[in-house]
Structure 1
Amino acid sequence: MNTIWPALAIGLALVISAGIMGGGLMTGRAQAAEPVELVAFGDSLTAGYGLASGAGFADQLQARLDEEGIAAKVINAGVSGDTATGGQQRLEWSVPESADAVIVELGANDALRGVDPKVTRAALTKIVTRLQERGQKVLLAGMYAPPNLGDEYGEAFNAIYPDLAKETGVLFYPFFLDGVALDDSLKQPDGLHPTKEGVTVIVDNILPKVKELIAEVREERAQE
């Protein structure tokens, strides 16, 4: 009788240990499968200026991810008229700590207003580095300066985004309005903001990078 109890105790301990390990594994899998919280942080191009509900960037991106069975929740944190400096100032309350990743789309208004590229660069740098400090993945969407501002301004401004992406190691999409900027049929009457169809082009073009961003989040979760 005395030899039976130690054997039973060992067996019970193994069962409990297996249950704990299995539970931990399942918890990890469940966490990896949870929707990725993705914030679209930008200006009117993100906010959906002039568009009906459901036609803006965040809504169309959400719809595409849903169609492809990619578990993600897209939050619209776009503010019309915002500059890079304005974005920096509101980052702490506009981008929740719970967010896994952020698409940073800012700077178009800086270029339209002729803001010193040094000011734009400093603000975007602070935004990206702050998000990294929080442990949030970043996709930086680039912007080009209007040609009427001259070559010197354009060279200084256009270099901000690739330089920053290289310095910080974040994902980079060179031009948010790629495929739309030079096509009047995809822009609203103001000649600046995309139509619903224009936003669809934007989403189509940036989607591979967004998928890469989501994959980075899931890869990090799997390592935790």
Structure 2
Amino acid sequence: MLKVLYVCILFFSFNALGQTVMVLGDSLSAGYQMPIEKSWPTLMEQRLQNEGQVEKVVNASISGDTTGNGLARLPALLDTYQPDWVLIELGANDGLRGWSPDLIRKNLTQLINLSQQSGAKVAIMQIEIPPNYGKRYTKAFSDIYPELSKEMKIPLIPFFMEKVVLTPGWLMADGLHPKEVAQPYIADFVANKMTLLLENSDKK
């Protein structure tokens, strides 16, 4: 009887810790110009593991990636890591190049569909671009994310860069990328959002 109870405890403990979250992103998540262990996805993994939320956070982010690059890489990543959750943080490089919002939306839709078809749950992160691209384009780009969230019934995670931009010393000289000092804040910010999603998915 004790042996059966012990096996049950191990089984439920493994289930609680067994979830894998994969972050599919660009330089904002890849640990741009810093050791990968200092990047926010690595720091988030440590926090979520300590809270018993996940077993692993896979940082599948590459600096410079567009939604198209992510789409090309995604099938192999899903096959390799078989994540329970995919957090999509892509689109900034598309927007900075002035690509069509329709193309960006199409690629993001395919990223969501492929992830869901693999059995993963999906969350998408809001992305913003600088206002110098013009009010019309900036709004069309920004609107992609909440619209997809509503249409595809997936969680939308707010963009973490607002506080980074407003906090002195947290932004690199290029005006686009967070420094190493900002990574713990970003890790906590995203972890708080993911914790709610992980807890709610456990209850379903």
TM-score (norm 2): 0.88
User: Any idea what SS the aligned residue of 2:38 has?
Assistant: coil
8 Å CA contact 1:162–1:174 kept in 2: the answer is: no
Match of 2:33 in 1: 50
Counterpart Cα distance in 1 of 2:10 and 2:170: 46
Match of 1:10 in 2: none
* Structure 1, gaps ≥5 residues long: 1-18
From 140, 151, 166, give the equivalent of 1:156: 140
> Bigger shift: 205-214 or 27-36?
27-36
Match of 1:94 in 2: 77
Question: Which residues of 2 match residues 27-46 of structure 1 at below 5 A?
Answer: 29-30=12-13, 32-46=15-29
The one-letter amino acid of 1:47's match is A
Match of 2:196 in 1: 212
8 Å CA contact 1:100–1:137 kept in 2: the answer is: yes
The one-letter amino acid of 1:175's match is F
From 151, 157, 169, give the equivalent of 1:167: 151
Counterpart Cα distance in 2 of 1:76 and 1:65: 14
> Bigger shift: 190-199 or 154-163?
190-199
User: Any idea what SS the aligned residue of 2:184 has?
Assistant: helix
* Deviation, structure 1 residue 135: 1.6
Q: 1:33 to 1:66 in 2, by over 3 A?
A: closer
> Bigger shift: 209-218 or 53-62?
209-218
Counterpart Cα distance in 1 of 2:112 and 2:76: 15
* Deviation, structure 1 residue 213: 2.7
C-alpha RMSD over aligned residues: 2.5
The one-letter amino acid of 1:134's match is S
Which string of whole-angstrom CA distances, capped at 9 and with x for unpartnered residues, describes residues 129-164 of structure 1? Answer: 211122201111110121000011011100000000
Which string of whole-angstrom CA distances, capped at 9 and with x for unpartnered residues, describes residues 168-196 of structure 1? Answer: 11111121323113435111222211111
8 Å CA contact 2:75–2:114 kept in 1: the answer is: no
Q: Which has the larger radius of gyration?
A: 1
Question: Which residues of 2 match residues 114-153 of structure 1 at below 5 A?
Answer: 114-153=98-137
* Shift >6 Å, 4+ stretches: 22-28
Counterpart Cα distance in 1 of 2:90 and 2:168: 22
* Deviation, structure 1 residue 50: 0.6
* Deviation, structure 1 residue 118: 1.0
Counterpart Cα distance in 1 of 2:186 and 2:17: 26
Counterpart Cα distance in 2 of 1:192 and 1:184: 14
* Deviation, structure 1 residue 24: 10
Counterpart Cα distance in 1 of 2:12 and 2:172: 45
Q: 1:185 to 1:208 in 2, by over 3 A?
A: same
Q: How many residues end up aligned between the 2 structures?
A: 202
